[in-house]
Amino acid sequence: MVDYSGKISYRSQSLRPSEIREILTLTEGKSIISLAGGLPGPEVFPKQQLAGIAKRVLEDLGDSALQYSPTLGVTPFRNSVASFALSKGIKVNEDDRVAVTTGSQEAIYLIGLSLIDPGDNIIVEAPTYLAALNAFRFFGANFISIPLDEDGMKVEMIEKEIKKAKDSGKKIKAIYTVATSHNPTGVIMSDDRRKQLIEIANKYDILIIEDDPYGFFVFDTDKRFTSLKTLDTEGRVIYMGTFSKILAPGLRLGYIIANKSITDAIESMITITAINPSTLSQYIAMYAIKEGVVDETIENARKVYRKKRDVLLESLEEYMPSGSEWYKPKGGLFAFVYLPKEVDTSEMLPKAIERGVAYVPGRNFFADGSGSNAMRVNFSYPSVDKLKEGIKIIGETAKETIK
């Protein structure tokens, strides 16, 4: 048999196996309540409407919908993404282009590939989206972690960190942020901080990567928070959106709206990876936008998730050990819970899984290795009953760990 130990590339070995992937392997085939993933609730998928649309797309456009297509997306879909974004208040500049990607995870990867040289620094929220940390780390990025509170990233701390980094000769490439309905905490960056963030980025000539999967999922107000992309006056915000949370992740459709220099770089990358994002998915999403299915799904999902968020908060109050703390998620799909200091959530995970529930240990969301007593729980995917039961089990397991 071949010995593969000397054959797997150094680069691919540098990717640490993801704790989530391992959890999913552990839970496969078992009836585990998973609060670990970031899955939409299947009850919000517009299955009927999409069945109709898929049929019509194939009837109307079959020859092109089943064909290879342009690298950055088919033109009518790119146009409809641009007008969709505009209709939601996201500014598209004249020298911006839309690049359609295979989910926004691929967008994160492509942006990392296009921007990051080994040793470059990226400013991130602490905690932040773990798959962005992993992708940027893969390209050799170092991180500058900025804590957050109920109003998002503590932007007032950034300038000091930038000066410190510059004094020691470090290069800062970008600030990566999930400003609205943050993953994993559900907090929303305040308007003041958004303005400050743009000012700092301008002053120090740093790019901003705005990852916005949840801009539409704000629960307690109809106010729409102004995107960083819209506040930007210098073309330094790279905006990422996705159809995963507002339509269906199975379509694997995300998009970047950014200066042409960025999308040009990305275009060359896609020619050596996917060739083009799924043509069929693009036409399906295009019809779904045009026929109002996307807007309906957003409104429906927002209601469903708000209800589940409330159930989660009640369950946390009822079952978590005293001394636990969490942010009230103002939007998104997750809550981030801090257990009492003595609990190590990575060590506790196998016990929780044994009792039938999975979550993601908090450490994964920090570039600096903190968060050992934290965990991320998802509330969009499980049913209300499973959600309550899951939190109850986590609470019991935690209480036992403390004893």
Ligand X SMILES: *Cc1c(COP(=O)(O)O)cnc(C)c1O
Site residues for ligand X per CB under 6 A: 38, 103-105, 129, 178, 183, 211, 213, 242, 244, 249, 254
Q: Which residue has the tokens 């972690």?
A: 145
Shortest Å distance, C-beta 246 to ligand X: 10
Nearer to ligand X, 227 or 324 (CB): 227
Rounded Cα distance between 289 and 285, Å, is: 6
329 CB contacts (<8 Å, ≥6 apart)?
Answer: 181, 185, 186, 187, 219, 309, 312, 335, 379
Shortest Å distance, C-beta 336 to ligand X: 13
Q: Is 224 helix (H, G, I), strand (E, B) or coil?
A: coil
Shortest Å distance, C-beta 182 to ligand X: 8
Shortest Å distance, C-beta 34 to ligand X: 15
Judge contact between 96 and 247, C-beta under 8 A. Answer: no
Nearer to ligand X, 266 or 320 (CB): 266
Shortest Å distance, C-beta 314 to ligand X: 24
| Identity of the amino acid at 104 | S
Nearer to ligand X, 120 or 211 (CB): 211
At 350, give phi and psi (nearest 5°): -60, -35
Nearest CA-CA partner of 183 in 207, 148, 137, 158? 148
What is the length of the chain? 403
Nearer to ligand X, 211 or 232 (CB): 211
Q: Which residue is nearest to ligand X (CB)?
A: 103
Q: What is the Cα gyration radius of the chain?
A: 21
Shortest Å distance, C-beta 60 to ligand X: 26
Nearer to ligand X, 353 or 360 (CB): 360
Nearer to ligand X, 96 or 211 (CB): 211
Separation in Å, CA 92 to CA 53, 107, 112, 258: 28, 18, 22, 8
